[in-house]
Amino acid sequence: MDSSLIIYPMQEMIDEIHSETQRVNSKTGESVHEGSRSFVLVVMSHGAKGSIIGSDDVHVEISDMLDLLSPKNFPAMKGKPKIIIVQACAGRKYIT
């Protein structure tokens, strides 16, 4: 995945995260993350309490996004540190 700034509709962002967790080496069939020691995901977007909002105004629960990085869904990173940074407001109601 390219680390440059990308603006995604929500489903495309979720699909991209899922695709990254499933990438395999075409020669060995092993996950490209097998030798990795950690995984970092940074999401910057608008938000509401407990969710982030894509460029298409679709909300997704942060917990659903994090589930994509669980050992069940991302076995190559089981037991390894995963750093997830979400920079998003929590909606007007929560601004003080």
The first and second tokens of residue 25, run together, are 């080496």
Contact indicator for 14, 68 with CB cutoff of 8 Å:
yes
List, by residue number, the catalytic residues: 46, 89
From 55, 53, 64, select the one nearest 89 (Cα to Cα): 53
Could you tell me the end-to-end alpha-carbon distance of the chain, in angstroms, rounded to an integer? 36
Q: How far apart, in Å, are the Cα atoms of 38 and each of 8, 28, 49, 61, 65?
A: 24, 21, 28, 23, 17
